[in-house]
Each structure stands twice: as structure tokens, then as C-alpha cells.
């Protein structure tokens, strides 16, 4: 989901932000892929088979639908003030677990200083949660949400089978297209940002659910899917910077086209074009490498 407030500076900053997300998630994915994280995969199937692809896509979509239903119930009951509390709590605990895992791998502390790693692992998520509730710095909040989304997407890459990631991305892109134009996300957006198309900060009820880039609202779900695809482009079926670069450039091209379409629409789904173009480039590159190894 992207909300329209556009000028050249916003477009450039948005493309840069998505590029940073792709770089971070590729890096984190390359680190997490060295671990056996299958035990974190429930309720997903672990096999890289057609059956698992279908199961994982349905489960992931089901989780999205459940979350959407909860948000709609809260909005209809006129209790939108509790949405940031829910977001702050969920991000606090999930960010804490992910960050602790990554810090243990990339920032080993010398004996006797392990407590500093623990403090860092809880301190950054706690700061993120506080900023969602009391946004004294929206810039810092958006940077932390980008970091969190990049890590979360990389973790999903390390847990899920590769073809399931592709299937989930395509499934959610199709759902995003329907949901933003005719489905529940359209109702949520109209309810939370009604009459606020020119504002430069997110409505309080959306804090934690979107990254705001100079007035452009990018959903955390979009960040998550981009961050699941980026390490896939880099690492599967074998590490390749060329494949990652081509697929990432096509994702950015799809994102740019989405931004251009925002000139005629108030909201645009931020998954269909980036996912479609990048997945086509990814699969085409794999086939070309097989033909011309």
C-alpha cells in the first residue's frame, strides 16, 4: 500500500529507502541462512515441494486475513487508539527475538560483556515501541521500522522453502491488488486517513503499520515481502550478485511505476508491479544461467 503525496524528492527518497531495504535484507538473509532455523517454521511446511508451496501460501494469506479482520473490528468499534498499542507490543517482542539472534551472529561480545548484547537487543525494540506510542522522532521511527522489516523478511527467508517464498509473494501481490482497490484495506485506509491526504506524518492509528517517507506511506507488509524476496534473489539456487542486481532493479522499476500511478490515484498497492517484474527477472535469469552456464 502506498499513499499519495509525491514530488521528485519523495520519489528519489522512496527509491533509495527501498534500495536500502533490499540491501539490508540480502545481508541479513545471507547470515540467517547459515543457521538451521527449521524449528521456527511452524505453522509452515518445510519441504520445497508443490504441496508445501500451496500450504504455506494459504497459511500466510490466512494470517494476513486474520490480522486484517482484527483491525477492521477495532476500527468499526471506534477503538482505533488501541491499534498503536497492539503494534508496539507485537513489534517489541518480535523485534527483540530477531535482533538477539542476529546480534549473536554478527556482533559477538567478549566474555563478561554479553549483558551489553542483551541490553542492545531489548533496547532497540523498546525504543521502537516507545516511538510508536510517543513519536518524538518520526525519522528515527521510520529507520527502525525499515531495519525491523528487513530483519523479519530475512528471517522468513531462512525459515521458509524458496519456492514457497515466491508463491507467497505472488499470492499477497494479487491480494494486495484486490484489497487496496475493492477489499478491506481500502476501507481501512479510508477510515484512518480520511481527509488527511496532504499530511506529512502518519495518522496515529497507523504508526508502526507503515513507513512514512517524506509523506509517502509504505505498508510494513510491503517491506516484509520485499525483504523476503531480496535474499532469495541473492542466494537461491546459488549465490549470484548478477541475479540479485537484475531482480532488485526490476523490483525498483516496478516500485517507480507504482509511484507514477499515484499521480492519478490516492492509494496504490505497492506489491503487484514490484513483485511481478522482479519475479519474472529472477526466473528468467535462472533459466538463462541454466542455458548459458
User: What is the pTM assigned to this prediction?
Assistant: 0.92
Sign of torsion, CA 264 268 270 274?
negative
Q: What is the pLDDT of residues 108-160, one digit of tens each?
A: 777 777 788 889 999 999 999 999 999 899 999 999 999 999 999 999 999 99
pLDDT in tens, 184-243: 887 777 776 654 444 445 566 788 999 988 778 899 999 999 999 999 999 999 999 999
Question: With the C-alpha atoms ordered 5, 178, 173, 203, is the resulting torsion angle positive or negative?
Answer: positive
Tell me the backbone φ, ψ of residue 144, rounded to 5 degrees: -70, -35
pLDDT score of 47: 87
Residue 61 predicted with pLDDT over 70:
yes
**What local confidence, expressed as pLDDT, does residue 133 receive?**
94
Beta strand 216-219 pairing with 2-3: antiparallel
Q: Whole-angstrom Cα distance, residue 278 to residue 231? A: 13
Residue 35 has pLDDT above 90, yes or no: no
Mean pLDDT of the chain: 88
DSSP the chain: -EE----HHHHHHHHHHHHHHHHHHHHHHHHHTTS--GGG-TTS--S-SHHHHHHHHHHHHHHHHHHHHHHHHHHHTT-GGGHHHHHHHHHHHHHHHHHHHHHHHH-PPPTT-HHHHHHHHHHHHHHHHHHHHS-S-HHHHHHHHHHHHHHHHHHHHHHS-HHHHHHHHHHHHHHHHHHHHTSHHHHHHHHHHTT-TT-SS--GGGBTTEEEETTEEEEHHHHHHHHHHHHHHHHSSS--HHHHHHHHHHHHHHHHHHHHHTTT-SEE-SSHHHHHHHHHHHHHHHHHHHH--
pLDDT digits (tens, 9 = 90+) for 76-91: 888 888 999 999 999 9
- What confidence tens digit (pLDDT) does each residue in 3-29 have? 455 678 888 999 999 999 999 999 999
Tens of pLDDT, residue by residue over 250-290, are: 999 999 999 999 888 878 999 999 999 999 999 999 998 77
Amino acid at each position: 500500500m502506498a499513499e499519495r503525496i509525491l514530488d521528485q524528492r519523495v520519489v528519489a527518497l522512496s527509491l533509495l529507502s527501498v534500495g536500502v531495504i533490499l540491501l539490508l535484507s540480502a545481508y541479513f538473509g545471507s547470515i540467517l541462512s547459515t543457521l538451521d532455523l527449521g524449528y521456527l517454521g511452524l505453522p509452515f511446511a518445510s519441504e520445497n515441494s508443490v504441496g508445501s508451496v500451496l500450504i504455506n501460501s494459504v497459511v500466510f494469506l490466512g494470517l494476513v486475513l486474520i490480522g486484517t479482520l482484527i483491525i477492521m473490528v477495532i476500527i468499526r468499534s471506534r477503538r482505533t487508539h488501541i491499534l498503536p498499542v497492539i503494534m508496539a507490543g507485537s513489534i517489541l517482542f518480535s523485534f527483540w527475538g530477531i535482533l538477539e539472534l542476529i546480534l549473536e551472529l554478527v556482533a559477538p561480545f567478549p566474555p563478561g560483556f554479553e549483558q551489553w548484547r542483551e541490553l542492545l537487543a531489548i533496547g532497540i525494540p523498546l525504543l521502537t515501541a516507545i516511538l510508536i506510542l510517543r513519536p518524538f522522532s518520526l525519522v528515527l521511527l521510520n529507520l527502525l521500522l525499515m531495519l525491523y522489516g528487513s530483519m523479519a523478511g530475512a528471517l522468513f527467508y531462512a525459515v521458509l522453502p524458496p519456492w514457497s517464498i515466491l508463491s507467497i509473494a505472488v499470492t499477497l501481490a494479487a491480494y494486495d491488488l484486490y484489497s487496496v482497490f475493492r477489499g478491506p484495506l481500502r476501507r481501512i485506509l479510508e477510515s484512518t486517513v480520511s481527509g488527511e491526504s496532504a499530511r506529512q506524518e502518519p495518522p496515529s492509528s497507523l504508526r508502526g503499520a507503515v513507513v512514512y517517507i517524506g509523506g509517502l506511506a509504505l505498508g510494513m507488509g510491503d517491506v516484509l515481502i520485499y525483504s523476503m524476496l531480496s535474499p532469495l534473489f541473492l542466494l537461491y539456487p546459488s549465490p549470484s550478485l548478477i541475479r540479485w542486481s537484475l531482480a532488485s532493479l526490476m523490483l525498483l522499476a516496478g516500485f517507480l511505476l507504482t509511484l507514477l500511478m499515484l499521480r492519478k490515484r490516492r492509494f496504490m498497492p505497492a506489491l503487484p508491479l514490484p513483485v511481478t517484474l522482479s519475479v519474472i527477472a529472477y526466473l528468467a535469469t535462472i533459466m538463462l544461467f541454466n542455458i548459458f552456464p
